[in-house]
Structure 1
Amino acid sequence: MTKAAIFPTKYVQGNGELKRIKSYVEHLGNSFFVLISESGYKRFGSILKESFGDSVKVDFAIFNGECSKTEINRLREEFKAKGSDVIIAVGGGKIHDTCKAIGYYEKAPVVIVPTIASTDAPCSAVSVIYTDDGVVEEYLFVPKNPDLVLVDTEIVANAPARLLVAGMGDALATYFEARASVRSHSKTMAGGYTTDTAFALAKLCYDTLINEGYKAKLAVENKVVTQAVEKIIEANTLLSGIGFESGGLGAAHSVHNGFTALEETHSLYHGEKVAFGVLVQLVLENAPMEEIEEVLYFCNEVGLPTTLRELNVTDKSKEKLMKVAELSCAETETIHCMPFEVTPEDVYAAILTADALGENYKK
Structure 2
Amino acid sequence: MIVFGSPSRYVQGAGALDRIGTELARMGGSVALVIDPVIEARHGAAIRVACAHADVAPQMLVFGGECTDAEIDRLAAGLSDAPRIVGAIGGGKCIDAGKALAHRLGARVVTVPSIASTDAPTSHNYVVYDANHQMVAVRKLPLNPELVLVDTAVIAAAPVPLFLAGIGDAIGKIHEVRCCAEADGANIFGGRSALTAVALARACHQIILTDGEAALAAVARQTPDAALERVVEATVLMSGLAFESGGLSVAHSMTRGLTALEPWSRQMHGFQVAYASVVQMRAQSAPEAEIDAFAGFCRRIGLPVTLADLGGRAARPDEIARIAEATMTAPHIGHLPQPIDVAGLIRAIDWVEARFARVPA
Q: TM tier, shorter chain?
A: over 0.9
Rounded Cα–Cα distance in structure 1 between residues aligned with 2:360 and 2:246: 32
Rounded Cα–Cα distance in structure 2 between residues aligned with 1:362 and 1:9: 51
Rounded Cα–Cα distance in structure 1 between residues aligned with 2:251 and 2:211: 22
Rounded Cα–Cα distance in structure 1 between residues aligned with 2:160 and 2:314: 29
Aligned to 1:73: 73
Letter in 1 for 2:225: T
Rounded Cα–Cα distance in structure 1 between residues aligned with 2:115 and 2:256: 22
- Structure 2, unpaired ranges of 5+: none
Aligned to 1:281: 280
Q: Percent identity?
A: 34
Aligned to 1:339: 337
Letter in 1 for 2:338: F
Residue by residue over 1:184-209, the C-alpha shift from the partner in whole angstroms, topping out at 9 and shown as x without a partner, is 00010122111111111111011111
Match of 1:351 among 341, 349, 352: 349
Where 2:121 maps in the other structure, the secondary structure is coil
Rounded Cα–Cα distance in structure 1 between residues aligned with 2:197 and 2:115: 24
**Does residue 90 of structure 1 match 2:65?**
no
Checking the alignment, whether the CA contact within 8 Å between 2:21 and 2:56 is kept in structure 1 is no
Rounded Cα–Cα distance in structure 1 between residues aligned with 2:194 and 2:356: 33
Where 1:112 maps in the other structure, the secondary structure is strand
Where 1:286 maps in the other structure, the secondary structure is coil
Shift of 1:122: 0.6
- Structure 1, unpaired ranges of 5+: none
Where 2:76 maps in the other structure, the secondary structure is helix
Checking the alignment, whether the CA contact within 8 Å between 2:31 and 2:83 is kept in structure 1 is yes
Checking the alignment, whether the CA contact within 8 Å between 2:111 and 2:145 is kept in structure 1 is yes
Shift of 1:83: 4.1
Shift of 1:174: 1.0
Where in structure 2 are the equivalents of 1:149-298 lying within 5 Å? Answer: 149-298=148-297
Aligned to 2:58: 58
Shift of 1:229: 0.3
Checking the alignment, whether the CA contact within 8 Å between 2:259 and 2:266 is kept in structure 1 is no
CA RMSD of aligned residues (A): 1.6
Checking the alignment, whether the CA contact within 8 Å between 1:184 and 1:337 is kept in structure 2 is yes
Specify whether residues 85 and 216 from structure 1 end up closer, same or farther in structure 2 by C-alpha distance, changes over 3 A only: same
Rounded Cα–Cα distance in structure 2 between residues aligned with 1:316 and 1:86: 47
Q: Which runs of 4+ in 1 moved over 4 A?
A: 360-363
Letter in 1 for 2:65: G
Shift of 1:286: 1.3
Aligned to 2:135: 136
Rounded Cα–Cα distance in structure 2 between residues aligned with 1:37 and 1:312: 29
Residue by residue over 1:104-143, the C-alpha shift from the partner in whole angstroms, topping out at 9 and shown as x without a partner, is 2211111100010010111001011111221111111111
Residue by residue over 1:304-330, the C-alpha shift from the partner in whole angstroms, topping out at 9 and shown as x without a partner, is 001222112525322111111111001
Shift of 1:352: 1.7
Rounded Cα–Cα distance in structure 2 between residues aligned with 1:362 and 1:243: 39
Rounded Cα–Cα distance in structure 2 between residues aligned with 1:143 and 1:299: 36
Shift of 1:95: 1.1
Q: Which moved more, 1:309-318 or 1:150-159?
A: 309-318
Checking the alignment, whether the CA contact within 8 Å between 2:114 and 2:154 is kept in structure 1 is yes
Letter in 1 for 2:63: F
User: Paired residues, what number?
Assistant: 360
Where in structure 2 are the equivalents of 1:291-310 lying within 5 Å? Answer: 291-310=290-309
Where 1:210 maps in the other structure, the secondary structure is helix
Checking the alignment, whether the CA contact within 8 Å between 1:36 and 1:90 is kept in structure 2 is yes
TM-score, reference length from structure 2 = 0.96
Letter in 2 for 1:153: T
Rounded Cα–Cα distance in structure 1 between residues aligned with 2:82 and 2:165: 38
